[in-house]
Amino acid sequence: MKQKFAVITGSTKGIGRAIAESLLKKDYSVIINYSSDDQAYNEFLEKNNMYKDKIYCIKKSLDTYENAIEFCNLVKQITNEIYVLILNCGIIDKSEFGKITKETWEKSMNINLNCPFYIIQSLSENLKNNEIEGGRIILLSSIMGKYPHSTSLVYNVSKAGVIALSKSLVKYFCEDKITVNSICPGFIETPYHHNRTKESYERINNKIALHRFGTPEEVASICMEIINNEYINGSAIDINGGYDYF
């Protein structure tokens, strides 16, 4: 049986890992990616050992144009047909306005917005080349792309750009029946938040109608719904538990 390939950037922990595991359970062959955390990668492999013949890994930091293109070339060596492309890799920077350096700005923009664009552009023919009619491109944005916080200006701008990018690509891919959407998570219980204090959690939970952080699996379920539903297109889908309703 021919393999059905999905590519996910930043996919050995947190939201990316949950998406990768959901796809493996649905019999996809999954090309995962990470930049440096070998321990997280090994834990991912150990947990998903039953799918080892369907897991391909590219260790590559997606922070420059050159790295993004090299990543795409390595993907093309694995397969020339992609059905699902998920751009999840991201970075958060909380430098204050007035103290944001050129390096900080460019690194955040490269990882969160520029490299996703380079990857989509480079792999577009591989998406169009799959034998299954249609395909899916999903970009991970953030609630901060819609409702920005003053403490994370660079992140907010880059994630707003992700939403604009996903909407701008819809018409380009529509003739090939490839949908393009973005997902905008709120506060999700990922390793990034593990060092928060109890007080910090409580302060955020008081702004969420459900009074809790979401789980990576809940975000992954939205991703799978987009993959399964060919009529979801050009959307920026919120999943935030009712953030800031109080």
User: Model confidence over 165-176: pLDDT tens digits?
Assistant: 999 999 999 999
Q: What is the mean pLDDT of residues 137-145?
A: 96
Statement: residue 117 has pLDDT above 80: yes
Q: What is the mean pLDDT of residues 68-77?
A: 98
Give percent of the chain with pLDDT exceeding 70.
98
**What CATH class does 5-190+216-239 carry?**
alpha beta
Position 112, amino acid: N
- Choice among 72-81, 113-122, 140-149 with the minimum mean pLDDT: 140-149
* pLDDT for residue 1: 64
Statement: residue 245 has pLDDT above 80: no
* Length of the chain as a residue count: 246
Q: What is the mean pLDDT of residues 49-59?
A: 97
Q: What is the mean pLDDT of residues 32-40?
A: 96
Q: How far apart are CA 2 and CA 5, in angstroms?
A: 9
Outline where the chain has alpha helix (H): 14-25, 38-47, 65-78, 102-109, 115-128, 153-168, 170-173, 198-205, 216-228
pLDDT band, residue 246 (cuts 50/70/90): low
The pTM of the whole model exceeds 0.75: yes
Q: What is the mean pLDDT of residues 197-207?
A: 92
DSSP string, 174-233: GGGTEEEEEEEE-SB--GGGTT--HHHHHHHHTTBTTSS-B-HHHHHHHHHHHHH-TT--
Q: What is the mean pLDDT of residues 77-94?
A: 95
pLDDT band, residue 111 (cuts 50/70/90): very high
The burial of 6, by beta-carbon neighbours within 10 Å (0-12 exposed, 13-18 middle, 19 or more buried), is given as buried
pLDDT band, residue 129 (cuts 50/70/90): confident
Q: How far apart are CA 43 and CA 105, in angstroms?
A: 32
Q: How far apart are CA 86 and CA 9, in angstroms?
A: 7
